[in-house]
A and B are shown apart, each in its own frame.
Chain A
Amino acid sequence: MKFRVERDALADAVAWAARSLPVRPSVPVLAGLMVETGTEGLVLSGFDYETSTRVTVPAEVADEGRALVSGRLLADICRSLPAKPVDFATDGVKVSLTCGSARFSLQTMPVEDYPNLPDMPHSSGTVPSELFATAVSQAVTAAGRDDMLPVLTGIRVEIDGSAMALLATDRFRLSLRELEWSPEQPDVTATALVPARVLADTAKSLTSGTEVTIALAGTGTGEGIIGFEGQVGGGSRRTTTRLLDGEFPKVRSLFPSESTTVARVDTATLVESVKRVSLVAERNTPVRLSFEEGVVTLEAGSGDEAQASESLEAAIEGEPIAIGFNPTYLLDGLGAIDAPVAHLSFTQPTRPAALAPAADLDADPDLDFRYLLMPVRLQG
């Protein structure tokens, strides 16, 4: 194997492919990055039996071949190379890498021990890459991180024709993002439970191309896998990941159909205020919000400890209400709505509150994104 490649394209591709390599691999070869040349130019790939990555980079290929080298080491090296073309060549059981006057000689691992990457399923459709990245980042806000409840560490992807919905919940809050996409078959319906961390990483890293191809195989649970592919810098990036097992809870019905209080508040002002007031809320003790007569009053802390309060202007319709939230959950939701005005609707202080983006203080909420937040029950 022998080839020459642009330094920046190589460094980006290696960094991307090496990112999902396991830190403590169950078998040593899984720490490797497969470096392969062929008709597509240079192909780099990694796999940990859950998630695979595959990236192509334009290269001048002199000899075809492949080698397995330490992914982390290669990423470290490529990041610090000078801005000159990079030459790779196999040299017995080693790979030599030359860039300007810098030379490296890397150990290789046995190629034959490396597992085959899963095949990319057939394309199911495409979605604009920026839209997808934003939508995923909103949905992932509410995803669980507790490995004891693996189902909740996933994002549920629901496809019904050209409508796609992304859902996540950690039991305390719930996010629902709806978007349009272009399916290959207009009447397709499918569901998949995708590991939230992988989906968020992938969507973010595919924004340099205009669209992302989504490829779904299997019935949505069990042995299914999902693949994502995008074009970046003259090559393609592809990730597949195994779908999570288990039944995602039925959550859509949790959104209250009506509300007794609706408040619209300037998002940035509210975020600043929640952050300030919750400085006295140790260990996520609740921040209390009272909505009444055009003012929302925030309070945190207890009589035994420090206390804080602040009042903000708000457009309030309906009954006055006082309700408590975990400040982190509230801030996560306010950050995710990504709009100048936060539209909050309530029924009772012990029932979930819904949060949605709005363009201004008079506007209707934009229900493409909804965040449901379970309040804190104050016992005292």
Chain B
Amino acid sequence: MRPEPSILHIDLDAFYAAVEQRDKPSLRGKPVIVGGLGARGVVSTASYEARAFGVHSAMSMAEARSRCPHAAFLTGRFDAYRRISRAVMAILRELSPLVEPLSLDEAFVDLRESELARFDVESITEVMRALKAAVHETSGGVYGSVGVASSKLVAKIASDLDKPDGLVVVPPGTEQDLLRPMQVTVIPGVGPATAERLRRVGVHTVEELERISETELTRLIGSAQGQSLYRLCRADDDRPVVSERESKSVSVEDTFDTDLVDRSILQAIVSRHSQKVCERLRKAKLSGRTITVKVRLYDFSTHTRSATLAGPTDDPRVVARMARRLVSEVDTSAGVRLLGVGVSGLADWIQDDLFGYADSEEDEADAPADETVDAAGHVVRKWRPGMDVVHARHGPGWVWGSGLGRVTVRFETAESAPGAVRTFAADDPDLSSAPRPPDPDADDETRSP
């Protein structure tokens, strides 16, 4: 715990839903639910209007539909979210070079590394107001809730206190007073199971938790978690802000506009992903020995398969060969929605091959199949609710709904007024998905800690 409030936590409010409302003027002020719309889909984000009906993230989509049937149900547009997230992170980095992004919509910032000289509550509050305004402006209307405190634990709790559009700076010395009346579940790591164990010994609030001795706590919930909880409930948290956590895996994945069935297309995508993964490994001067593929089928069921090589590699041919074999172990005949290739078991050395990169048999096999991917994307067109489209005559808009050979589009953009709704045949040649705006590094990179 630091003597001054110098750790900032920012959480963008209902981020995905807010981006949708920004880009779809007709949805502003209305309940919007973003998530998987299939049979097993879950809610990623619900706008505050939808939350009023009891919809929250991680709820099953079926339950969300029954609670809030009149909401707009949209699949995510991750390209857009990523673009805005990157812009927000850039603003945070202007404030301080030490930023630890936790996800697209959440980050810690170490203000000690900033040029701020004064850490009294008033000065910090003023800086945060400016920051929030900059975030709102840059993101085109998304609000962020900010907490500043002397530790990560309290900063994160503080950012949640005044949501949405919140700003809480916790004065040093008052951290424990803040925590004490709260439920124990406010502390990260205390989930339903731990909370239940604590409840059985009469502990509901942080204050009650503080009265439990360390010995008893470790006996109750195990030594590792017990020790950490003993400290955290006293607001005793020294975890530093780390800008780049050491990555333990490198992976690339892609969700498709259309469920893919053709094996040769899938195999070509696996090769392309393997190439990207290896480029990334090389850039980071890494290699890996465990290859994992992730296949999400049409029904949202997700399958992963992995295999470990004799030694680490950064050779795309080796990764691709193994990944293709792993994908072929999954029954993909009913259609694939998402395909990912990852490498873990990272090392900083590679056992090269005496024969070098001489054999190029696989690289040649890839090229023609790649073209078919694009072609196939147009054969059976699938219009996902929420996706950006362009009509030759009516201009840009988004898919409002589709089915029975028709697609309904609302023609509006972030800059326009709420627009009109028109319905077309699903194979209308004038209608196409909107081109992705150019973005220097818009690859679907995921690095899991």
Interface residues of chain A, those whose CB is within 8 Å of chain B, are 169, 171-174, 249, 251, 254, 284-286, 302, 324, 326, 350, 352, 372, 374-380
Contacts and interface: CB of A to CB of B under 8 A. Distances in A.
Contacts of B352: 172, 350, 374-377
Interface stretch (B138-146, B269-277, B342-350, B365-373): B342-350
Contacts of B354: 169, 171-174, 251, 254, 352, 372, 374
Looking at B285, B347, B354, the one whose CB has the most chain A CB atoms below 10 A away is: B354
B206 interface: no
Contacts of B244: none
A379 B354 CA distance: 18
B286 A326 contact: no
B351 interface: yes
Nearest to A352: B354
B287 interface: yes
A302 B348 CA distance: 10
A343 to B, nearest CB: 19
B253 to A, nearest CB: 24
A309 B90 CA distance: 45
Contacts of B351: 172, 326, 374, 376-377
A374 B311 contact: no
B357 interface: no
A374 B311 CA distance: 13
Contact of B349 (A171, A249, A254, A286): A286
A324 B349 contact: yes
A377 B282 CA distance: 12
A327 to B, nearest CB: 11
Contacts of B311: 284, 326
Given A173-B354, A379-B349, A380-B285, 8 more contacts: A172-B352, A174-B354, A254-B354, A350-B352, A374-B354, A375-B352, A376-B351, A377-B351
A171 B353 contact: yes
A285 to B, nearest CB: 7
16 contacts: A171-B353, A171-B354, A172-B351, A172-B352, A172-B354, A254-B355, A324-B349, A326-B351, A352-B354, A375-B352, A376-B350, A376-B352, A377-B352, A379-B350, A380-B285, A380-B349
Q: Which of B347, B349, B350 has the most CB of A within 10 A?
A: B349
B351 to A, nearest CB: 5
Given A326-B311, A378-B348, A380-B348, A172 B287 contact: no
Nearest to A325: B351
Interface in B265-314: 285-287, 311
A68 to B, nearest CB: 40
Nearest to A378: B349
Interface in B161-195: none
Contacts of A379: 285-287, 348-350
Contact of A376 (B285, B349, B355): B349
A19 B336 CA distance: 49
Contacts of B287: 379
Contacts of A251: 354
Contacts of A374: 351-354
Contact of A285 (B285, B349, B355): B349
Main secondary structure of the interface of A (DSSP, over half): loop
Contacts of A174: 354
Nearest to A174: B354
Contacts of B350: 376-377, 379
Contacts of B285: 379-380
Given A284-B311, A380-B285, A171 B355 contact: yes
Contacts of A284: 311
Contacts of B347: 285
Interface string B327-361: 00000000000000000000111111111000000
A326 B349 CA distance: 10
A372 B355 CA distance: 12
A171 B358 CA distance: 12
Nearest to A302: B348
B172 to A, nearest CB: 35
Nearest to A350: B352
A324 B352 CA distance: 11
A228 B286 CA distance: 48
Contacts of B286: 379
Contacts of A380: 285, 348-349
Contacts of A173: 354
A242 B348 CA distance: 42
Contacts of B349: 285-286, 324, 376-380
Contacts of B353: 171-172, 374
Contacts of B348: 302, 378-380
A302 B346 CA distance: 14
A324 B287 CA distance: 15
Lowest 4 A-B CB distances belong to which pairs?
A379-B285, A380-B348, A379-B348, A377-B350
A378 B311 CA distance: 13
A372 B285 CA distance: 26
Nearest to B287: A379
A174 B355 CA distance: 11
A171 B355 CA distance: 7
A70 to B, nearest CB: 37
A377 B311 CA distance: 12
A97 B351 CA distance: 55
A172 B350 CA distance: 11
Nearest to A326: B351
Nearest to B322: A148
A375 to B, nearest CB: 7
A185 to B, nearest CB: 34
B26 to A, nearest CB: 52
A376 B347 CA distance: 12
A322 to B, nearest CB: 13
A193 to B, nearest CB: 17
Contact of B355 (A249, A286, A326, A378): A249
A220 B354 CA distance: 24
Contacts of A286: 349
Nearest to A172: B351
Contacts of A254: 354-355
A41 B352 CA distance: 54
Contacts of A372: 354
B425 to A, nearest CB: 49
Nearest to A304: B246
Nearest to A380: B348
Nearest to B308: A283
A64 to B, nearest CB: 53
B224 to A, nearest CB: 20
